[in-house]
Chain A
Amino acid sequence: MDHKRYYPIAVLFCIVIVMQLLLAVTGTSFFLKELTQAAYYTIVVIGLCLLIGYAGQISLGHAGFFAIGGYTSAVLTTFDFSIFSSSPFIRFLHTIGFIIQREDLYGKQLLTFSPMVAFILAVLFSALAAIAIGIPVIRLHGHYLAMATLGFGVIIKAIIDATTVLGAHDPITSVPGFSLFFGLEVSSKIPLRIPNYYISWGVVIIALVICINLIHSRAGRALRSIHGNEVAANSLGINTTRYKLYTFILSAVFAAIAGVFLTHYNGSIGPSEASVMKSVRYVAIVAVGGMANLWGCVLMSVVLTFLSLRGVFGSFDDIVFGAILIAMMLFAPAGLLNLTRLKLWREKILLMIRKYAKKDSA
């Protein structure tokens, strides 16, 4: 067993802890909120990095999967099912504990799904959506794939905007906290800020472990061969369609999980989460991170999302991401943190140092 591939995760773990301590010491713990949100967005980016960077398939609809996850969970945990309380099905769900009774902010009694059940249903639902959309779409290439996934995202946005149960143009608010095990709870309550920070990064680390194992497995090698040359991969007996579809579903599920967690953390979700601009933003982050560079994507995602959430770019937010996208693709299509180029530079510098050393001795 090769443990080397897990070293970066240990490093990340240390950075997460050091970061929290640093913020606590400097009295800037309010940054934890944006860091937590950035962590959840990073999960979407990790899934997309797998799809774009390793399988070589673009998706401009991942905000759609994020929204499916978030909205399913939000509706199930806020919609009051007590109007259906006479239905035997709802009563059955109530007895087995899938539906629980809780109080809202104003003390009104609500009958809603428990967050854990809602989470599972949301992930299942988005996986089903990914299968339904993935089977026809994943056989497409290039422009067709880009437009088809873009179209999927636009449909999800249109459905949300037109459906009153989903809040139409308004966000769904007062989504309850999501109680995990050991009394941990995903919610925006200020005293829970530090545990929530660790929960979010815990989820990121789980996602990373899954990805790293996948990349170093038979499936990962198959994916890279598909990216290299799909026809050649096919001729070697790799079922390219199946691998691409699995990756598509996995990345969609990552996006949905991120959507569920962020919705519970923020306590709300709005239609802007499903916008095409969000999907493009995820792609931009993957592009800056260097496509097939998991750690580059994670780093860039945290930095850019954090800056964007803090409002550093102001009203130029979208234009910044658009400009980043163009600049990256024009001048450094392999990403900022391009390993091969970094190695080349190191060799160049070493060569120069050696030359100088020779001159000095001569």
Chain B
Amino acid sequence: MNISDIVLQYFFAGLRVGSIYAIVAIGFNIIYNTTGVINFAQGEFLIIGALLAISFNSLLVFIGLPGVPALIAAIILAVFITTAIGAAIEFAFISWLKNPSVLRLIVITIGISIVMREGMSYIWGIETFALPFFSGTEGTSIKIMGASISPQDIWIIGICVFLVLVLYLFFKYTLTGKAMRACAANRTAASLCGINVKLMITLSFMISAALGALAGCAISPLAKTNYEMGSAFAIKGFTVAIIGGLGNSMAAVAGGIMLGLIESFSVSILPMAYRDAVSIGILLLILSIKPSGLFGKREESALKEY
């Protein structure tokens, strides 16, 4: 393997994790835009989605369904249930609070993430699980310009591109999407225009949960799912959301790929164990230099409530 092949290998690894981070960041942004809340339990949506899909998959295979339909059915079921969980969380903990302070909301979502994580550890235990590969097996690899990548990498990147496109079209062209963007711009004005803001908030939690579940399923065959992985995804996703400027979903895609690449190339200089420290170091750096994000405007961010 020559040096350019190695660089290409790292590039694809960065692209893979980066696109997952981007999806997590978009999940953060969607909820943040409609409610002004950073949902600290976002990472748990990924894990619970993946764990549900794993359980359904083994159940469906057990009752005799062939591999591929079982996998598809399991993922669809898992996404639906996670969406319902997202709605339930919003309904139970967020919807009925009157003008809660930011501190209060932070603490509530942190509490939710702990309860979800511990709950998962009681249901699934502390072992590591994985979904089967969407196509091929662990050993299959595809050669692209000298780098060998797993077909799952292509699935992950493909699913993320698909999700970003769907969301873009949804927010740009559908009435519901436009209504949600109106809530992001100004909740009071939106409700005066006859938009059901409460419904939009519930919807934003549902979309975020569904996104998280799908991303969790996509990464599960490679990363192996464990009940306590959620917070790592959440912190990285938040870093990406900040890099792009909180609330700006399209910039989050660029931020995600950037962080993914930095992380995967950092492994070539620093020990693997410091990889998480690197990305959090970047978070601290960006927060202290330009809290409005690399792509955000300072004036715009001064008007927002954090």
Measured CB to CB, the residues of A under 8 A from B are 52, 56, 58, 60, 133, 135-137, 139-144, 146-148, 150-152, 154-155, 158-159, 161-162, 276-277, 280, 283-284, 287, 316, 318-319, 321-326, 329-330, 333
Contacts and interface: CB of A to CB of B under 8 A. Distances in A.
Nearest to A276: B231
B111 A158 contact: no
Interface residues of B, number: 41
A283 B104 CA distance: 11
Given A137-B284, A155-B277, A319-B119, A147 B110 contact: no
B107 A329 contact: yes
Interface string B261-291: 0000000000101101100110110011001
Interface in B75-120: 93, 97, 100-104, 106-108, 110-115, 117-119
Interface of chain B, main secondary structure: helix
A287 B107 contact: yes
B94 to A, nearest CB: 10
B38 interface: yes
Nearest to B106: A146
Contacts of A150: 235
A319 B114 contact: yes
Interface of B: 38, 40, 93, 97, 100-104, 106-108, 110-115, 117-119, 231, 235, 238-239, 242, 246, 271, 273-274, 276-277, 280-281, 283-284, 287-288, 291, 305-306
A151 B235 contact: yes
A142 B108 contact: no
Contacts of B231: 154, 276
Nearest to B110: A280
B111 A142 contact: no
13 contacts: A52-B103, A60-B110, A136-B287, A139-B288, A142-B103, A143-B106, A146-B106, A148-B287, A151-B280, A151-B284, A154-B276, A155-B281, A318-B117
B107 A283 contact: yes
Contacts of B117: 318
A333 B104 contact: yes
B38 A147 contact: yes
A326 B93 contact: yes
Nearest to B281: A155
A277 B306 CA distance: 23
Nearest to A287: B107
Nearest to B118: A319
Contacts of B119: 319
Closest 5 CB pairs of A and B: A136-B288, A322-B114, A162-B273, A325-B111, A326-B111
Nearest to B119: A319
Nearest to B285: A136
Contacts of B113: 322
B34 to A, nearest CB: 15
Given A58-B103, A143-B102, A326-B108, A319 B115 contact: yes
Given A326-B112, A329-B104, A162 B284 contact: no
